[in-house]
């Protein structure tokens, strides 16, 4: 139909998947001209049909270790095909990074439309009604973001992708991150990289980003 900028999602974690099969799936996507891939490890949510299946048969999904092993091989495969890992779960050819997602990661305002959709406008997070009844009545939940929430999001979102975060912005919000011993330890270990006033996560540690981020939050 003429679209030349297409993204695909690739989920890892279903029983029977192997490194070979996942990379084969990725190869097929690339052969179709895909310029962006988001790859996620399957998360089983309580209350879903898949959750019930896994309660009876845990082997219906792969173990976390196996998922991580496959994911790392996929990272290598995509890198060899010219896809840059610009966020923990996102890969793109140069110039095809998702502008939509980058708005989230850079902390810009955005609008969400529809049931349960969330918007962030002028330091307020607005979530639409979660049921059809509430939604059609115009029901909304509004959260005013305080300094702590802003600090946490700037660190968390910045370290999930290539943008990193600005130390001066964190300091203006009242957090002296350089006084954090974990922060200093991670800098010395080259796990976090400080460059021209910004802090980035070494891509070799993207797979454990949650643990790293938790250690440097206020």
Question: How many percent of the chain have pLDDT more than 90?
Answer: 85
For residue 168, pLDDT over 90 is answered with yes
Angle between helices 19-31 and 64-80 (to 10 degrees): 40
Report all structural domains of the chain as residue ranges with CATH numbers, in order of start: 7-97 (3.30.110), 103-144 (no CATH), 164-216 (no CATH)
* Residue among 50, 41, 48, 49 nearest 11 (CA): 41
- 155 contacts: CB under 8 Å, gap ≥ 6: 165, 170, 177, 213, 216, 217
Largest CA distance in the chain: 55
pLDDT digits (tens, 9 = 90+) for 65-115: 999 899 999 999 999 999 999 999 999 999 999 988 888 888 899 999 999
Q: What is the mean pLDDT of residues 181-202?
A: 95
For 197, counting Cβ atoms within 10 Å of its Cβ (0-12 exposed, 13-18 middle, 19+ buried), the class is exposed
| Mean residue pLDDT across the chain | 93
Q: What is the mean pLDDT of residues 173-201?
A: 95
Q: Indicate the SS3 state at residue 56.
A: helix
For 199, counting Cβ atoms within 10 Å of its Cβ (0-12 exposed, 13-18 middle, 19+ buried), the class is buried
Question: 107-117 burial, b for 16+ CB within 10 Å, e for fewer?
Answer: beeeeeeeeee
Q: What is the mean pLDDT of residues 19-33?
A: 96
For residue 206, pLDDT over 90 is answered with no
pLDDT digits (tens, 9 = 90+) for 34-63: 999 999 999 999 999 999 999 999 999 999
Element (H, E) at 183: helix 181-188
For residue 204, pLDDT over 90 is answered with no
Q: What are phi and psi of 155, to 5 degrees?
A: -70, -50
Question: How many percent of the chain have pLDDT more than 70?
Answer: 100
For residue 188, pLDDT over 90 is answered with yes
Residues pairing with 192 in the sheet: 201
């Amino acid at each position: 139909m003429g679209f030349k900028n297409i993204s695909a999602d690739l989920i890892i974690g279903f029983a029977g998947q192997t490194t070979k099969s996942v990379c084969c799936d990725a190869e097929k996507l690339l052969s179709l001209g895909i310029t962006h891939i988001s790859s996620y490890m399957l998360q089983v949510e309580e209350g879903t049909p898949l959750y019930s299946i896994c309660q009876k048969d845990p082997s219906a999904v792969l173990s976390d270790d196996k998922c991580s092993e496959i994911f790392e091989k996929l990272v290598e495969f995509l890198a060899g095909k010219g896809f840059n890992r610009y966020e923990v779960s996102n890969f793109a050819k140069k110039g095809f990074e998702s502008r939509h997602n980058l708005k989230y990661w850079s902390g810009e305002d955005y609008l969400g439309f529809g049931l349960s959709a969330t918007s962030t406008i002028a330091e307020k997070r607005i979530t639409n009604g979660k049921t059809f009844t509430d939604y059609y009545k115009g029901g909304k939940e509004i959260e005013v973001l305080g300094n702590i929430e802003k600090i946490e999001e700037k660190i968390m979102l910045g370290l999930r992708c290539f943008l990193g975060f600005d130390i001066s912005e964190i300091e203006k919000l009242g957090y002296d991150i350089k006084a954090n011993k974990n922060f200093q330890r991670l800098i010395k270990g080259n796990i976090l990289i400080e460059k021209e006033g910004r802090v980035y996560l070494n891509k070799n540690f993207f797979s454990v980003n949650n643990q790293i981020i938790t250690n440097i939050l206020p």
